[in-house]
Chains A and B, each alone.
Chain A
Amino acid sequence: MDFLQSIVVSPFVEMFAYPDFLLQVIWEGFVAGVLYSLIALGFVLIYKASGVFNFAQGIMVVFAALVLVSLHGMGVPAWLSVVLALGVMGLLAVGIERLVLRKLVNQHDAILLMATIGLTLILKGVGQLLFGGEPKPMITEQLGLPTGSTDLEILGGIVILQHIDIAATVIAVLMVIALAIFFSKTRIGRALRAVADDHQAALSVGISLHQIWAIVWFASGIVALVTGIMWGARSEVSFALEIIALKALAVLILGGFTSIPGAIVGGLIIGIGEKLFEVYWGALFGSGVEAWFAYVLALIFLLFRPQGLFGERIIERV
């Protein structure tokens, strides 16, 4: 009975007793969720256009952030560093398309996945060689990002909102809107969707697969840089980020591999879910549930709804 009570009753009693604390937990979860969503977004972009599951997305986040921080460390002005870091991600995209994807076109999915695992190792090695292995602080203030916090008086208590978290949310929302417009309204967006649907038909209307692939890898490189800045600003830029990025896998299973709204909603569900679970139920499992909550949730989804919440329904005529 005691056990049941501690699962079903006490957490909710606690939530209602201290609603301001509940709100704080949800906010923290929300912000973590935004960052998961951003990483998942990078995955979805590439998966949609080329069917490649890009295992290297996590390390691309770290790599982009390290390039930025190191450039600034060498005395380059902050904003110029951002531009240069974008340039590096662009070169990386073209390089990956030329040297990896082009050679492996029409190969089995598993082979392409292995290629991106190889890419992960290369980026990690090159990154450590160039920038060293130790964590670096993000150049938050130099980039003009807000620091500090606001105490929001609400529900008879206080909720603390970090300004950087608010900024991260706003930037993420803007980026998603921009991507959505880009995908639905522009020629290149349409070409991206066309390539995702049918390679051969896309070729026949004059769409260059090589160009499209380079563009999506660059787009997800941009997303990686933004994610790296935001995440780095909350903690620091280190290779440990790569492990956290794996949580995006769970986000994708929840949201569906081909859906941008899915990546966002999935990220938020996991972010908020794992924080709530950790705070209110964590003690039952001896804490540390944040580390595995996402994967267990993903497992449940795989059992009952393998295409995810928003996964593309496959329309097929028989």
Chain B
Amino acid sequence: MEISHADVVDSSAARVHDEELLSVSNVSLSFGGVKAITDISFNIMKGEVRAIIGPNGAGKTSMLNVINGFYHPQEGVINFRGKQRRRMKPYAAAASGIARTFQNVALFKGMSTLDNIMSGRSLKMHRGFFWQVLHVGPARTEEIAHRAKVEAIIDFLEIAHIRKQPVGKLPYGLQKRVELGRAMAMEPDLLLLDEPMAGMNLEEKEDMSRFIIDLNTEFGTTIALIEHDMGVVMDLADRVVVLDYGMKIADGTPTTVQSSQAVIDAYLGVAH
């Protein structure tokens, strides 16, 4: 099926995003003397696709790590769904509705596709430890219900043929897809994608773009993504924030960002 990106962009441009889901205010992060992020503020509206771009080493991944609690910024606050926080454990971030994928695929390599995606349901399963040990009654019913959700995700991502295979053996493009599936299984309010299309060929990129668009339009998932492929960013994103050397140099719609002099300088260098 051919999806026209132009159509999607048009429709998303028409959508109104007026509820703030996450805001980052004056966040600074340093490792010893190295400043990774300096005084960055931006926000993500509910239901939008927000891209974070910038040259290598601009602090994009660090920013995601701050949002999902892997790093604790020295300064600044993060406000997610109206709750302010500064230090947060990654599992607490996950529990509050933030899911993510990684730049270098971080899957459970020895486990099957199905089990990997099931692991994304960890937080949604509530039956107590002892029920689980016995594996009867409510725990069993619950497991089956979650299995149904996971199967739906597998169908959505068109990976039914690899559901029983250990993911370590899958090609890279499929691993990325399984990783997206695991994040989807968490039914997050905010999905962070760290270079979801890195290392993919054109066809795989088109598939992945389609999944991201569907996720956003059909399920209403808010997405923040880091991506290097400018064509993809311009097509997918509602708004773009541009980082360079840990600082924010532009923020706005793809078109305004693209024409910003600071951005052009950062990418192409300044003429001396």
Residues of A within 8 A of B129 (CB): 188, 215
Restricting to A166-186, which residues have a CB under 8 Å from any CB of B?
178, 181-182, 185-186
- Which listed residue, A181, A197, A202, A204, touches B100 by the CB 8 Å rule? A204
Assess the A315–B166 pair: CB atoms within 8 A. Answer: yes
Whether A145 sits at the interface, judged by CB under 8 Å, is no
Chain A facing B: main interface SS = helix
Whether B106 sits at the interface, judged by CB under 8 Å, is yes
Residues of B within 8 A of A317 (CB): 168, 172
Assess the A206–B94 pair: CB atoms within 8 A. Answer: yes
A-B residue pairs in contact (CB < 8 Å), sample of 20? A182-B132, A182-B135, A186-B132, A193-B115, A194-B108, A194-B111, A197-B107, A198-B106, A201-B106, A202-B108, A202-B119, A203-B89, A203-B90, A204-B99, A205-B186, A206-B94, A208-B91, A312-B110, A315-B109, A315-B169
Whether B268 sits at the interface, judged by CB under 8 Å, is no
Residues of B within 8 A of A202 (CB): 108, 119
Centre residue among B110, B121, B127, B186 by max chain A CB count within 10 A:
B110
A200's nearest neighbour on chain B, judged by CB, is B106
Q: How far is the CA of A316 from the CA of B110 in the complex (A)?
A: 10
Whether A268 sits at the interface, judged by CB under 8 Å, is no
Whether B152 sits at the interface, judged by CB under 8 Å, is no
- Which listed residue, A186, A203, A207, A315, touches B139 by the CB 8 Å rule? A186
B117's nearest neighbour on chain A, judged by CB, is A205
Q: Beyond A187-B125, A203-B90, A206-B91, is A193–B99 a contact (Cβ under 8 Å)? A: no
Residues of B within 8 A of A178 (CB): 133
A205's nearest neighbour on chain B, judged by CB, is B120
Residues of A within 8 A of B213 (CB): none
Question: What's the minimum C-beta distance from A283 to chain B, rounded to whole angstroms?
Answer: 46
Whether B211 sits at the interface, judged by CB under 8 Å, is no
Residues of B within 8 A of A207 (CB): 91, 119, 122
Q: How far is the CA of A202 from the CA of B107 in the complex (A)?
A: 9
Question: What's the minimum C-beta distance from A296 to chain B, rounded to whole angstroms?
Answer: 31
Residues of B within 8 A of A188 (CB): 129, 132
Assess the B108–A206 pair: CB atoms within 8 A. Answer: no
Assess the B110–A315 pair: CB atoms within 8 A. Answer: yes
